[in-house]
Structure 1
């Protein structure tokens, strides 16, 4: 297969190195990593399975290689390349057909190798440690702090004081703000008895973790699944979300589509009378990117296989009142979902 990439995660997957100005080209058994002089020293040290080409004009270097090898068809992901750039390449390379393949790299990466699963498992373990560190902060000095200050503290806990990068900007939401699935931090302060939703992750050797917990802020504070809320309405919603989460993990099987796994979680919440409050998908793939294939959604047509890693994260959101989400990463192994 002949193809090109410029997305950094795609570059890293192909050859073990990336930069913000590079093109990866594969023509059958041969491959090239084209970059500028700022990155060639590191690239020559780290790139595997590809020839490093230094160029001031990356597209000109790409065209030269394609002409020399008389390429006739080249696949690319239209999400990585803008139409104007592809148009210029087509104009200067008559006879070469540029084939659009959406999610080209994600499709290649959808089934994780054993070494990738190990890295994702370690990312998830470290992510849990980050949550534990954040819980200790909340217990010692979190009360009275604003969501903005808590967000800052969560970032520090998940980064391990700069050791790791974040998978994404954390979500730290109190009470009514948690009803927004992607809530932004406000000046609302944390009080005893409040509901607190935290969604955060880190990167371990480029691989992401993703975890969400919704907790009751009481005399003791922890991110475990057992939570007891003062409000019966919140408790009912929490118990439904937890049951949906646990049911989807217990019943997911290799050979199901993403939509079928989504249905496992959604049916629990619907039977509990709160189906309209589950406003997003049940999960998404995780790897070098925080959102990858497969998508565990109503429209998820991908057949799930062993080696795929994705989240299970059902939720219930009541605008103006509260939001609840519980999320874990799983890997399909021996036909079943195993929590990482």
Structure 2
């Protein structure tokens, strides 16, 4: 999908929301609409006009990346400059993303314009651009498929690297180093390596703890390729497992595969969550599953939709979501398995096909 079409769709959504202009300040949204990747920007969409405001550090970059937008190099804060431009252009109702705009930021926007237009100019709207971003086009899918497969490659390499006595930090460092050498521009988030009793921490970031002689090791990580994130989790076991450890792993794997199998257009997010959760409920382990089943992924590691109980949003072709049930038993161990799944016209396609079968190292 061209940037021009993305901007037209955003303008159409703004019009439907009752505003004649959209002020975009969330940087992933800015990138999605105009291609600009800098760290300081505001984008105004007003009818057929797209104006990008940034600072002097990005003069050349903005003109190269945002070729379809007018670029203004602001001599003041970019949002202030954007608001002043809107007043001068006669904008009557400007929509802003209430989910991404703080009270302080809104107050600053109001102070940037004259009193006579301040009261009615700024109108809070739902996250219009975030909604557009939930459905990926073919180019985005191709990029995310590349990122996901790179993640699988990295996991496969870690299986021969992990051994007794290595610290969690050493494992994370090796994985991240390999990722950069393989072409990743960054990690999607701080790599999670949680071993032994720490595997019961859903977000157990890597520490100086050493991999155990016997116990689980959970790896949760992702890479960024051309701005798009991947996300996957695998749990392996060091040494010979106890029967109850294998029982938990098998239940989580069954739950995860049930969630994956449920992914299809027209299915609600709550139905996918229930498909995974019900397996753990039957096994008597649902009380140890403490988070939602999954989330969307894209330019950000956490995007819509959210796969959780009571979430009535319907899946649509082009969405990419995670399926990541887990069981976490404090003081003992935890298991999580996660895949990225593309919603297709007929079902779901796993983008992270790395092995999920039981592994003992």
Q: Same fold (TM over 0.5)?
A: yes
Alignment match, 1:211: 232
Structure 1 counterpart of 2:105, from 85, 92, 106: 85
Displacement of 1:89: 2.4
Alignment match, 1:67: 87
Alignment match, 1:109: 133
Q: Does 1:55 align with 2:55?
A: no
CA contact (8 A) 1:131 1:157 kept: no
Displacement of 1:56: 1.3
CA contact (8 A) 1:156 1:162 kept: no
Residues 301 and 97 (structure 1), Cα distance of their counterparts in 2 relative to 1, 3 Å cut:
farther
Displacement of 1:174: 0.5
Alignment match, 2:165: 144
Count matched residues.
327
CA contact (8 A) 1:305 1:335 kept: no
| Residues 31-62 of structure 1 deviation map (CA, whole Å, 9 limit, x = unaligned) | 11101111111110111321110111123421
Alignment match, 1:119: 143
Counterparts of 1:302-317 in structure 2 under 5 Å? 302-317=313-328
Alignment match, 1:44: 63
Structure 1 counterpart of 2:338, from 319, 327, 330: 327
Residues 118 and 175 (structure 1), Cα distance of their counterparts in 2 relative to 1, 3 Å cut:
same
C-alpha RMSD over aligned residues: 1.7
CA contact (8 A) 2:194 2:218 kept: yes
Displacement of 1:107: 1.0
| Residues 270-300 of structure 1 deviation map (CA, whole Å, 9 limit, x = unaligned) | 0011110111110000000000000001132
CA contact (8 A) 2:269 2:311 kept: yes
Residues 85 and 195 (structure 1), Cα distance of their counterparts in 2 relative to 1, 3 Å cut:
closer
CA contact (8 A) 1:178 1:323 kept: yes
Alpha-carbon distance in 2 for matches of 1:88, 1:165: 33
Q: Secondary structure of the residue that 1:276 maps to in structure 2? A: helix
CA contact (8 A) 1:11 1:24 kept: yes
Counterparts of 1:230-245 in structure 2 under 5 Å? 230-245=241-256
Give the TM-score normalised by structure 1. Answer: 0.91
Gaps of at least 5 residues in structure 1 are 219-228
Alignment match, 1:284: 295
Alignment match, 2:356: none
Alignment match, 1:157: 178
| Residues 143-195 of structure 1 deviation map (CA, whole Å, 9 limit, x = unaligned) | 21122222222222333367421000010011110101001323321134321
Alignment match, 1:131: 155
Gaps of at least 5 residues in structure 2 are 1-13, 15-20, 352-361
Structure 1 counterpart of 2:275, from 243, 264, 269: 264
Give the TM-score normalised by structure 2. Answer: 0.86
Q: Secondary structure of the residue that 1:316 maps to in structure 2? A: strand
